Amino acid sequence: MKIAIIGAGNMGLSFSKSFLKYELIKPENLHLITRSQSKILKIKEEFPKSEISVFEEVKNLDADLIIIAVKPQDFQKVAESFQFSLNENQMILSIMAGIKIEKIQKSLNHKSVVRAMPNSPTLLGMGITGYTSAEGISFNQLMNIERLLNSTGRSVYLENEDLLDGVTALSGSGPAYFYYIVDAMIKAGTQMGIDENLSKLFVKQTMLGAYHLINNSDKSLEDLIKDVASKGGTTEAALKTFEENNFKEILQQGILNAEKRAKELNG
């Protein structure tokens, strides 16, 4: 299989590294296309055996799968400036937030489109990707796509494309929510006089341990909270403050606003 990636940014490069790591593609069959001339040398250092191009240079695209990894706000401009035509045997995999399959099909005049929403832990092979497809994509073609996506973590196929905006808000944007909470916890630690590095250690290990408890316990989240929050204790004091300030509702509303923005990106 030959793969071209339009938009050699963080996500495009992380996908490329995963494909090569698991030997799903040969380096010489990978074509990375960037819009920035200044990034060429750095990308060549990381992918010395692959073809690296600036977008304007590409007159013909010899690839079985074309991954579009540009910012959704840039997609229309990129689509309009294509200097090559697609053939019916080529497949498009979009990892742009918000841009629906129908819009991609119309903009590129191409029917074979799969739309996916990964998240940043794909950089470590620990991501999760929701994906869906246009009509007419065969089971074997989808399995090939899933095999590629699973090299970056896990993937889930969605029959209903409308759910992908929710996936974008929940898991695509999700890592930032955790970073935000971790940052607040670390800063609370420093306010209590704990050295910043030590505060980071306590918070990061706490998050790691809490994740494993969630993943390995048969208890509900409510019961896990009760296990920590004894009546009249310190945890209860913190949780009471969160409840009084509607922290849970604020977080939920933020995620719903992220979904709303994903829908707006389609235009």
For residue 132, the surrounding DSSP H or E stretch is: strand 127-133
Chain centroid to CA 7: how far? 14
Query: How would you list the strands of the sheet with 127-133, edge to edge?
Result: 51-54, 30-34, 3-6, 65-68, 91-94, 113-117, 127-133, 153-157
Sequence ranges of the binding site for NADP(+): 6-11, 34, 69-72
> The tokens 């129908």 sit on which residue?
102
Q: Which residues are annotated as a binding site?
A: 6-11, 34, 69-72
The alpha helices in the chain, defined as continuous H runs, are: 10-21, 40-46, 75-80, 101-108, 139-150, 163-167, 174-191, 196-216, 221-228, 234-244, 247-264
Closest C-alpha to 1, from 134, 143, 152? 143
Q: Is 94 exposed, middle or buried (0-12, 13-18, 19+ CB in 10 A)?
A: buried
Q: Which residues contact 111 (CB under 8 A, 6 or more apart)?
A: 88, 105, 134, 136
Q: Which residues pair with 65 in a beta bridge?
A: 3, 91
Distances (CA, A) of 69 to 4, 46, 78: 10, 18, 11
Look up tokens 């923005």; give the residue: 261
